[in-house]
Amino acid sequence: MNTIRGLAGKRKVAVAVKANAYGHGLKEMISLLRAEDVEYIAVHSHGEAASARAFGWDRNILVVGYIALSDLQAVIDLDLEPTVYNTETINRLGQLAKQSNKEINIHLKLETGTNRQGVEESRLEKVSTAIKKYPGLHLRGVSTHFANIEDTTNHEYASFQLETFNRLTAAVRRYGLKPDLRHTACSAALLLFDDTKFELVRPGIAAYGLWPSKETYLSYRLQGGSNNILSPIMTWKTRVAQIKEVPRDAFVGYGCTYRATSKTRLAVLPVGYYDGYDRSLSNLAYVLIKGKRAPVRGRVCMNLIMVDITDIKGVRLEEPVVLLGRDREEMVSADQIADWAKTVNYEIISRICGNIPRQII
C-alpha cells in the first residue's frame, strides 16, 4: 500500500476489493486495509458491501457494479455510495432518500468510450436534471473507466477518453451539479498518467502487488520508473495427498493424455479446476515442491492434479506445494499461469475458490 499511497499522493484512494478482493479474501484484505491510510473500498455489489461491513469496514464504500432497483434499500442500510447511470436508479434512490430523511452520496458514471456502464453525452442533461430533482441526492463523484489503458503502449484511446471525460464533467457542471470527486484511475492509469488521478483513484490489481499487464510494465519502465515497485502479496499452497510410482508407458489422468516415458514418481495434489486451478493448465504448468519445478502430468481434474516428482528427492506425504508464488529460488507467478492459461493475471487470482482458507502472514 505504500506504493499506492506514494502514487496517489494526497488524493483519496479507493482500493478495488471486488471478486473476493481479487481472490485474496475479502475478510483478510479488509483487516489489512483497516490499518492503512485508505479512504474507500470499491466493491461490485451490495452483497460484497454487506460482507465488508460485517468484516468491520466502517469507512466509505463505492459500489462500482449494478444494484437491482429492488435492492437499493441496501444503499441506506449499509451506507453505500452507488454508481448510477440510469434515471430509474436515480429516481428510486431519490425516493428512498426522501423516505428515510437521509442524504445519499452517488457517483455518476460517464460514458467515454468503453461502452460498458455510463451515461452517454446525449442523455447527460436528462440524467443531471433527474439528480437535481432530489435534494436528498448528493453528487459525490463523477467517474469513468478506461477501455484499453493496460492493453497497449499506445495510449491515444485513453487520452481520447480522458478528453471526453473532461468535456462531460464540464457539461455536468453546466447542468448545475457540483461533483466533489472526479475519478478515472485504475492501476495502469495510476502508474502511468498523472492527469487521470483527479481527486480519487481506484486501483485494484496493483494493490495486490501485480502489474496490470506487460504493456503497463513496459510503459512504466520507458517513463523511467523503477523495476521493483510492486511485489505480489499472495502465495497459493496445497500439500501432497499421495505419492506413487508408475511404470514406463503408464497413462496418467482422465483422457489418458499423458503417458510416462520411464518409471515415474507422481504426487497427487488435492486441488483442481473447482478450486480455480484452470483445466487449461493440464500437461502444461508446473508447481513448486522443495523449491523445484514439478510438472503437471495429465489433465487437471475437478479436485485433483498429478505432478511429476521423479527428480525431486525426499518428497513426503503432506509435503507443502506452491501452486502460485515463490519457493526458495523458484517462482510461479500469476502472470506465468495466465500465459499458460491464455488469460490475464486478474482472472487467475480472482477465480481462486472462496472456500479455500486464507491466512495472513
Q: CB 278 → ligand PLP: shortest distance, Å?
A: 19
**Only segment of 51-59, 134-142, 201-209, 218-226 that touches ligand PLP (CB under 6 A):** 201-209
Strand, coil or helix: 221: helix
H or E element, residue 334: helix 334-340
Give the number of other Cβ atoms within 10 Å of residue 316's Cβ.
Answer: 10
Choice between 201 and 323, CB closer to ligand PLP: 201
x/- contact string, 24-43, with ligand PLP (CB under 6 A)? ------------------x-
Choice between 60 and 282, CB closer to ligand PLP: 60
Taking the chain, what is the end-to-end CA distance rounded to the nearest angstrom?
16
Let me know if 346 is a catalytic residue.
no
Strand, coil or helix: 357: coil
Q: Which of 264, 347, 339 is nearest to 308 (CA)?
A: 264
# of chain residues touching ligand PLP (CB under 6 A): 12
x/- contact string, 151-190, with ligand PLP (CB under 6 A)? -----------------------------------xx---
- Regarding beta strands 258-259 and 251-252, do their DSSP bridges make them parallel or antiparallel, or are they unpaired? antiparallel
Choice between 168 and 289, CB closer to ligand PLP: 168
Choice between 307 and 344, CB closer to ligand PLP: 344
x/- contact string, 289-328, with ligand PLP (CB under 6 A)? ----------------------------------------
Strands (E), 32-164: 40-43, 60-63, 81-84, 104-109, 137-143
Q: Which of 319, 358, 339, 337 is nearest to 235 (CA)?
A: 358
Give, in order, the Cα–Cα distances in Å from 93 to each of 75, 156, 176, 195. Answer: 8, 37, 19, 32
Residues 207-226 that bind ligand PLP (CB under 6 A): 212
Choice between 23 and 94, CB closer to ligand PLP: 23
Interhelix angle 87-100/124-132, nearest 10 degrees = 10
Residue type, 55: F
Q: Which of 260, 277, 280 is nearest to 269 (CA)?
A: 277
Q: Does 202 bind ligand PLP (CB under 6 A)?
A: yes
Q: Which residue is nearest to ligand PLP (CB)?
A: 204
Residue type, 160: F
Q: CB 207 → ligand PLP: shortest distance, Å?
A: 8
Choice between 186 and 341, CB closer to ligand PLP: 186
The span from the CA of 64 to the CA of 46, in Å, is 10
Q: CB 242 → ligand PLP: shortest distance, Å?
A: 38
Catalytic residue among 12, 18, 197, 290: 18
Let me know if 254 is a catalytic residue.
yes
Catalytic residue among 98, 157, 254, 292: 254
Q: Determine the Cα angle at 210 with ends 348 and 109, to 5°.
A: 85
Residue in the block written with cell 469513468 = 144
Would you tell me which residues interact with ligand PLP (CB under 6 A)?
Answer: 16, 42, 64, 145, 186-187, 202-206, 212
Catalogue the active-site residues: 18, 254
